[in-house]
Homo-oligomer: A and B are copies of this chain.
Amino acid sequence: MQRDFPELLNPRMFMNRTGQGRHFLQIPGPTNVPDRVLRAIDFPTIDHRGPEFQRLALGLLREIRTVFGTSNPVVIYASSGTGAWEAALVNTLNPGDKVLMYEAGHFASLWVRLAKRLGLLPECIDGDWRHGVDPSRIHSVLAKDLNHSIKAVCVVHNETSTGVTADISAVRAAIDAASHPALLMVDTVSSLGAIDYRHDEWGVDVTVAGSQKGLMLPPGLGFNAISKKALLASKTATMPRAYWSWDDIISSNEQGFWPCTPATNLLFGLAESVDMLNEVGLDNVFRRHIRHGRATRAAIQAWGLDVFCQNTSAFSPASTTILMPEKPDGSRFDADAFRRLALERFNISLGSGLAKLSGTVFRIGHLGDLNDLSLIGALGGVEMALHSCGIPVTRQGVSAAMDCLLEEV
């Protein structure tokens, strides 16, 4: 008995707020996926064991290294960034290993939680969320770890929750200054392809990334860039692992294949995305993000609001976290009510406050496939939504952002 055209789910109805024009996806990721990437993703799936796939994979696995700034292998998983966190740990460590994790934001905390669940012993540096990673604190912990019981140092390059970046080369210097052999693992989920990053030059051992931010893809791919030292560590590491095992993947990848079925269509998109990054030039991409971060902060300042990040040398070019202002009674205006109104009335998605910041901040993503006018539209949406919510801000933010964009092109 066949049903007569049921419309149970009909995804097209959910994917497009009908009659409201193009949605402004200004969360700090997933970001706006370029039309070229979407058109690459929707090509028919091909045989992941055949010669066409092989040629594509070999090219892709070569070119993706450039994006990480490495000449060593980059492993690509069908997974979220969370999966890539797990992969970094289970490939290099032993059960019960101590790892030094710098908790300067919510995603850092989630990584700590994940490490614990896997049976590691995270030693946490309780970071200042508004100032970010202080490399000297890493140095001081490592300097005291004379027997080198700490096996890895884990840092988030761009804290999506706070909009604060970490100086990875300074972290490297701190580890070196302590002459400590710990592996350096860096989460670049929300920085790769948006903020200057150099896996090899900065001596990173495992770089963790995801597809849905600076790489301008839908979510679904996780990445590990791997140093020679990390690779060596993986030969003796005893944490149980299978899906995440680098060894099988790296040896299959050398032939242009994967040990298990890869996410073929997302790889099509990745190839297109890498082409686009190459066409523009990574330096230009980074410059654009810096410029948009600056314009966003100019707007915030003009509104009379506070950027959550208080470390001026650590402002994120990829996303900005904004504190809701206080009401006369000392409580803060409700960030989530504001975001709801922004979505319903102005068709813009903004990021919510996470963990202890829930309800008191909101976040603007300004990374991925974005240009000046999209940013102005997004900031206009924020300005109008703030105003509509009765939140006491000036109406000068968009103007200030335009001033900033006009200054340097």
Alpha-carbon distance between A395 and B401 when the two chains are bound, in angstroms: 12
A272 an interface residue at 8 Å Cβ cutoff? yes
A250 an interface residue at 8 Å Cβ cutoff? no
A177 an interface residue at 8 Å Cβ cutoff? no
**10 shortest interchain CB distances as A-B pairs:** A377-B377, A21-B371, A19-B280, A376-B380, A220-B263, A42-B42, A82-B260, A373-B377, A218-B265, A47-B349
- Min Cβ gap A219→B in Å is 4
Instruction: Report chain B residues within 8 Å CB of A10.
Output: 7, 271, 275
User: Is A44 within 8 A of B40, CB to CB?
Assistant: no
Question: Given A35-B44, A78-B220, A242-B114, do A399 and B402 touch, yes or no (CB 8 Å)?
Answer: no
Please report A residues at the B interface, Cβ cutoff 8 Å.
1-3, 5-25, 27, 29-36, 38-53, 55-56, 59-60, 63, 77-83, 85-86, 95, 113-114, 117-119, 210, 212, 218-220, 222, 239-243, 245, 259-266, 268-269, 271-272, 274-281, 283-285, 288, 343, 345-349, 352, 369-378, 380-381, 383-384, 387-388, 395-396, 398-399, 402-403, 405-406, 409
Starting from the known contacts A21-B369, A45-B212, 8 additional A-B residue pairs (CB-CB under 8 Å) come to A11-B269, A19-B277, A23-B44, A25-B45, A29-B261, A41-B42, A266-B266, A375-B377
Alpha-carbon distance between A275 and B13 when the two chains are bound, in angstroms: 11
Partner of A20, one of B113, B262, B283, B371: B371
Partner of A119, one of B53, B240, B265: B240
* Chain copies in complex: 4
Instruction: Report chain B residues within 8 Å CB of A240.
Output: 95, 117-119, 239-240
User: Is B260 within 8 A of A18, CB to CB?
Assistant: no
Instruction: Report chain B residues within 8 Å CB of A119.
Output: 240
- CB-CB nearest in chain B for A288: B19
User: Is A43 within 8 A of B117, CB to CB?
Assistant: no
User: Is A80 within 8 A of B260, CB to CB?
Assistant: yes
Partner of A80, one of B36, B261, B349: B261
Partner of A11, one of B14, B118, B272, B280: B272
